A and B are shown apart, each in its own frame.
Chain A
Amino acid sequence: MRFKSLGIFLIISSFFLTCILSIWKIMATLQGLSFTYLNVTPVFLISILLTFAYVFIGNKINHLIKIFLLSLIFSILYFYLNETSPCWYLFGVFLITLFFTNKLKKYNMQSLKEDFISEKIIFDFITLFGIVFFAFVILFPFYIMLVTSFKTQIALLVNPLDFSLDFTKSLTELFKSYFVIFETYNFGRYILISSAVSIGTVIVTLLFAIPAAYTVARLNFFGKNFLSTSILIIYMFPAIVLVIPLYTVFSQLGLRNSIFGLLIVYTATTLPVAIYMLQGYFKSIPKEIEDAGIMDGQNWFGIILRIIIPLSLPAIASVALYVFMIAWNEFLFSLMFLDSPKSFTLSRAIQYLSGDAETPRQYLMAGSVIVTLPVLFIFIYFEKYLVSGLTAGSVKE
């Protein structure tokens, strides 16, 4: 049993270390280092040596000294097995090994005898590996987007792997793509339009949704159940089937190419979610508070304005942010309704840019960074509100 779990431990942990080192090597390659081999097998073998040495030494020497020494030896071995590489790269290898051996802390010859230890080892390392994997897979495209916007098309065609930034260049040189898209491609205007449409959508949606949600949550009227179920079903209905009738009607009414037309469509498509999210929250407000308001002679307007809204500010904030993000990211309707560059939103403008094959990719990516940054900032800053809003929006548990 012990040898089996020892074997599993050695293989799984070494596999994990090899993966992390390979990712590190890939990242270093993207900084312009010319590696041509991943050297998976030798790295795997010395990783097995390392982990074996780690368990073999056990608790005989101080943990810190042990991991420090082992990592140092590992890095030196790694250096001999690999192609020539700069100091900072090896230092990275050293730090990764240090982190890795520190993670091994809870394993020694004793702990390998425990029940289900091999399953636990597999779970532990899959967790670690999964986190590294998910973080890498998710952040990598964002990283490429950001870095490409600082490079030039020619440099990338010469060496598509060199994403190193030259910080010795002046700032204007480095941020050139951003200056170009603002000056030549008029991105300032598109930012304004996008903001106006998104903020407008938020305001109008809330104006319609708050009274409606209050009614659905509180008042009794004919067709209430029908309404509250149809809200969800409408939410499931796809934008693509609305496009053709809306396009024809908007053409006849002259609402295409107008921000107003876009605003109406965005409001109508976000209203069901907004009502659904808000009414769930309104229901949780104790009814007694409202009764007190009725006693004071408030009408429904007063109740909503003076009681409901102040009490549900967090929910309203989360709905507002959610609607803002939907409107800001929306692409289908802006593609259909906007033909003239005068009324483009950011998303549409980037798509228009990409339609011209001559457009250098750094401009496209600079535009993408500009459209992505606001949403990511809002998301990171208000994550709590948004996450609770997102989950409340579709599931009732």
Chain B
Amino acid sequence: MSDTLSKLEKRTAYTLVLPAVLLVFAIVLFPIFANVWISFKEIELKDIRIPEPRAKKIVKSISENQSELKIIYKLRNSSLIQEIRNVQFQDKFPSNVSPVNLDSRCNFQSKKVVCNFGNWQAKYRENFEITIQNKNGEIIDKKIIETQKPILSGKADNPLLTTNFTLENFKKVFYENNFVELLLTTFYFTFFGTIGAIIFGILAAQLVNQNIQGRTYMRGILLFPYVGPVVALAYTWTLLLDPNSGTLNALLVNFNIIEQPINLLGQKYITMSILGFEFKLRLALTTVIFFEIWRYFPLAFLFILARLQAIPQSLYEAADVDGASPIQKFIHITLPQITAIISILFMIRFIWNFNKFEDIFLLTGGASGTRTLPINVYQQGFAVSDIGMGSAVSIVIVMLLLSFMVIYFRLIGKRANEV
């Protein structure tokens, strides 16, 4: 009895869960594996269509009497890199019309011209001609001939499914692509974006956790940058920071804080001197990091606030009795209570920042020293249109991500579970 019940339960479980699992598998997991496949191929954006034979039909009159017409088919292989095998051609003609001097590859039967063109190499082109004639010497209607489209078919390999592999893409990723700088930029962006978001999150949570009026409103306002659409926010920032007529530069110049407008998003380095030491700051990257912090500290804030509100008030009361100062209370009570959530947040934000594409793309497009790995995927795949390279960079990202996860679960995961 219980056996049949559990069998039924299992069957129900699979029917309920399979649709979702299959969909996620097809759209999320399959591409990750497909990336591995594509990354070992030399394939460009223009090659991804399956090659097909194409024909453009042009009808011309050749004699004064309209009973004869010349038809030119401009035949071509749509692919520049792959051959099409066993190309078959077929075109229909009205009754009483028959071809004259038909090409040897073709034959004419029951109002149809059927040809067997054999194999077409990549980039294959041919102007194929048929002359047709009305048996009774009557005028052939050009329109009818023109509207009838030829049918072509042929066998071609899907360029994605061929089995010629190469290591070229990975070589290019590591040796030709300024890989070290790319990696450093990505880590710089990810690390400071994450740390900044968490620090501002702690500050904001600490503020809102006080007994102040309107703190629910404050919580709502603080989350605005996180819920707003990235496109709108990024363009607003671009306008704000614009060197020519942006509000921020205009304000700073107006109040004589700076003399010349600074191109915050378009300048790679700025030289600063502090206490006589001169050092170069990655300006555009820093600006992008600030945008990142501005947009994502709300998430850290929300989690930390939820944790802060769960800390029992009695702990603070006890500390008051012991005569602890506000700073001591923060260090000895608040901080230990939020370390677990901070380590989880650090992990989540680190991974998400590592993969951040939209923000940098919309602000700088990856120019002036803000090219990170995800931006590079886009640039390789769609700007340079080298799909194989783009995939290879994706693979590098996935590998790095997996290693972060492993490190995280080794180091912090256990502790986070204990707390």
Contacts and interface: CB of A to CB of B under 8 A. Distances in A.
A351 to B, nearest CB: 6
Given A127-B210, A365-B235, A238 B397 contact: yes
A144 B362 contact: no
Interface string A245-267: 11111011000000000001101
A192 interface: no
B16 A215 contact: yes
A56 interface: no
Contacts of B232: 145, 350, 367-369, 371-372
Given A161-B247, A212-B16, A245 B38 contact: yes
A364 B240 CA distance: 13
Interface stretch (A45-53, A64-72, A112-120, A167-175): A112-120
A157 interface: yes
* Size band of the interface chain A makes with B: 35 or more
Interface string B339-383: 001001000100110110110011000000000001001100110
Interface in A199-235: 208-209, 211-212, 214-216, 219-222, 224, 227, 233-234
Contacts of A148: 239
Nearest to B394: A241
Majority secondary structure, B binding face = helix
Contacts of B21: 212, 227
Interface stretch (B60-68, B142-150, B248-256): B248-256
Contacts of B341: 395, 397
Given A36-B255, A397-B310, A130 B207 contact: yes
Contacts of B358: 331-332
A252 B48 contact: yes
A161 B220 CA distance: 28
Given A131-B212, A331-B231, A351-B362, A242 B28 contact: yes
A241 B31 contact: yes
B228 A361 contact: no
Nearest to B359: A331
A137 interface: yes
B409 to A, nearest CB: 10
B247 A244 contact: no
Given A37-B256, A361-B239, A245 B391 contact: yes
A258 to B, nearest CB: 15
A298 interface: no
A51 to B, nearest CB: 21
Contacts of A386: 227
A395 B349 CA distance: 13
A144 B16 contact: no
B254 A243 contact: no
A115 B323 contact: yes
B179 interface: no
Given A37-B255, A211-B20, A387-B219, A246 B27 contact: yes
Nearest to A383: B220
B350 to A, nearest CB: 10
Contacts of A364: 235, 239
Given A144-B236, A328-B229, A208 B247 contact: no
B35 to A, nearest CB: 6
The bracket for how many chain B residues form the interface is 35 or more
B10 A220 contact: yes
A120, A238, A351: most-surrounded residue (chain B CB, <10 A):
A238
A240 B20 contact: no
B254 A36 contact: yes
Interface string B213-251: 000101111111101111111011101100001110011
Nearest to B310: A397
Contacts of B299: 390
A137 B240 CA distance: 12
Interface stretch (B96-104, B271-279, B301-309): B301-309
Interface in A301-338: 325, 328-329, 331-332, 335-336
B35 A241 contact: yes
Interface string B198-219: 0000011011001010001011
Contact of A387 (B14, B27, B302): B302
Given A134-B207, A245-B31, A220 B13 contact: yes
Interface in A48-101: none
Contacts of A365: 235-236, 239
A131 B207 contact: yes
Nearest to A135: B221
Contacts of A368: 229, 231-233, 235-236
B48 A248 contact: yes
28 contacts: A29-B254, A36-B256, A38-B255, A119-B327, A120-B326, A131-B218, A135-B218, A138-B222, A139-B224, A145-B236, A160-B250, A221-B9, A227-B17, A237-B28, A238-B354, A238-B401, A240-B377, A241-B31, A242-B32, A244-B31, A245-B32, A245-B35, A335-B361, A379-B220, A379-B224, A391-B303, A391-B306, A395-B303
Nearest first, the 10 closest Cβ-Cβ pairs linking A and B are: A238-B355, A268-B27, A368-B232, A245-B34, A245-B31, A221-B13, A212-B20, A211-B16, A160-B250, A219-B13
Given A144-B247, A394-B344, A395-B344, 12 more contacts: A35-B255, A38-B255, A137-B294, A215-B12, A219-B13, A238-B351, A251-B48, A251-B49, A252-B160, A365-B239, A379-B224, A394-B303
Interface of A: 26, 29-30, 35-38, 115-116, 119-120, 123, 127, 130-131, 134-135, 137-139, 141-142, 144-145, 148, 156-157, 160-161, 163, 208-209, 211-212, 214-216, 219-222, 224, 227, 233-234, 236-249, 251-252, 264-265, 267-269, 271-272, 275, 300, 325, 328-329, 331-332, 335-336, 346-347, 350-351, 354, 361, 364-365, 367-369, 371-372, 375-376, 379-380, 383, 386-387, 390-391, 394-395, 397
